[in-house]
Amino acid sequence: MSKKTCLNCNRTDAQIPLIALIFKGEANYICPQCLPVLIHKTQNLLEKLPGMEIAPPADE
Ligand SMILES: [Zn+2]
């Protein structure tokens, strides 16, 4: 997939500015509206970034 689209909402860079995320040497893109999802609900993007790992919270 070489087309630049937001990981989360699939809008293209023709529709909204996209922020590049470099992960494992590959560029992925996310739009500013979806950036909070990446920050706060990272697990929602796990399936879209294969290989990404989330450290569990240290305290329970
Ligand atoms: Zn988006």
What's residue 20's pLDDT?
A: 94
Instruction: Please tell me the pTM assigned to this model.
Output: 0.73
Beta bridge partner(s), residue 23: 26
User: Which range (20-24, 37-41, 49-53) has the least confidence?
Assistant: 49-53
**Can you read off the two tokens belonging to residue 22?**
């470099």
Distance from the CA of 60 to the center of ligand 1, in angstroms?
A: 31
Task: Give, in order, the Cα–Cα distances in Å from 43 to each of 3, 16, 28.
Answer: 23, 23, 16
pLDDT > 70? residue 47: yes
What's residue 2's pLDDT?
A: 59
Ion ligand 1 neighbours, Cβ < 5 Å: 6, 8-9, 31, 34
Distance from the CA of 53 to the center of ligand 1, in angstroms?
A: 21
As a whole number, mean pLDDT of residues 23-48 equals 88
Distance from the CA of 58 to the center of ligand 1, in angstroms?
A: 29
- pLDDT tens readout for residues 8-33: 999 999 999 999 999 889 999 999 99
Task: Give, in order, the Cα–Cα distances in Å from 4 to each of 21, 35, 38.
Answer: 11, 15, 17
Distance from the CA of 35 to the center of ligand 1, in angstroms?
A: 7
